[in-house]
Amino acid sequence: MHRNQFRPGLIFVFVVLGLLIAVAFNTTSRLAEARPGRVSDLVDVVQSMEVQREELQNRLAELRSDLARLEREAADDSGVSKSFSRELDRVRQAAGLSAVTGPGIEIVLGDGSEVAPGADPNDYLIHDTDIAAVVNALFVGGAEAVEVNGERLVATTPIRCAGTTVLVNSARLGSPYIIKAIGDPAELERAVMDDEAASLLFDVYSSQYGLQVSMSKSSELEVTGYRGSLRPQYSVPANGGA
């Protein structure tokens, strides 16, 4: 081979080639770390915060029962405020903060198992609106306490769609949804079957789309208490709470 056969121009283009390859490498590797990395980071953050929230909710429930016990003891000591303590228990129960038992019905709503070819998969799922319809029907039937998958419904409870899950209170729930309601079982069942949207689930959709729905009356049912926080930020009692 001859010496000096490669001219500066050729050398220069080889440098350019190396540069271009390096730039392409930089760009694709940055893309790779930017895309799935960010998503999984966010998923991690959400999951760890959910664990944290769970712990805090349990702690809150603990503190609430401590508080109730202390109030009772204080009432016992003084003797005078027994009626006050009874009133407090009653209010707490009405607000949905304490677990309650009684007769009622249990409704299970589960997604359909197999999607027929060409069909809309959304038809085979239980949606937030389905749950809301059933819950509303139960309240129409005089339900006194309702929970969905262990989430007690209180005045501030939302039931809404959150991606592939349904959000009740601050918990993300998945199928099957077990709805427990305390009230007159016969009355509750009638209310559900009388409700247009709710009854469709049982009469039509269950057979048409294979939704796993069932309803059973029970003489003894337990509905859990609300575990989330109740901290009104804007609302204050009107007329001094009278």
Partner 1 sequence: MLALALALALGVTLGLLTNVTVPVAALTYLGVAVLAAIDACLGGVKASLEETFDDKIFISGFLTNTLMAAFIVFVGDRIGVRELYLAAVVAFGLRVFENLGTVRRLLFSRWGWE
The minimum distance between CB 16 and partner 1, in angstroms, equals 6
DSSP 65: H
User: Is residue 8 involved in binding partner 1 (CB under 8 A)?
Assistant: yes
Angstrom distance (rounded) from CA 182 to CA 105: 7
Q: Please list, in sequence order, all residues whose beta carbon lies within 8 angstroms of the beta carbon of residue 147, skipping any fewer than 6 positions away.
A: 153, 179, 180, 223, 224
Residue window 17-46: x/- pattern of binding to partner 1, with contact defined by CB under 8 A: xxxxxxxxxxxx-xx---------------
User: Is residue 6 involved in binding partner 1 (CB under 8 A)?
Assistant: yes
Asked if residues 97 and 71 have their Cβ atoms less than 8 Å apart, the reply is: no
- Map residue 146 onto helix, strand or coil: strand
17 or 186: CB nearest partner 1: 17
User: Is residue 13 involved in binding partner 1 (CB under 8 A)?
Assistant: yes
State the residue for tokens 């007159």.
Answer: 184
Size of the site for partner 1 (CB under 8 A): 27
State the residue for tokens 């949905």.
Answer: 96
User: Is residue 11 involved in binding partner 1 (CB under 8 A)?
Assistant: yes
User: Is residue 5 involved in binding partner 1 (CB under 8 A)?
Assistant: yes
The minimum distance between CB 33 and partner 1, in angstroms, equals 12
The minimum distance between CB 26 and partner 1, in angstroms, equals 5
Angstrom distance (rounded) from CA 150 to CA 166: 13
* Torsion angle in degrees (nearest 10) through CA of 155, 161, 165, 169: -10
Member of 15, 32, 67, 119 binding partner 1 (CB under 8 A): 15
User: Is residue 116 involved in binding partner 1 (CB under 8 A)?
Assistant: no
Q: Which residues bind partner 1 (CB under 8 A)?
A: 1, 5-28, 30-31
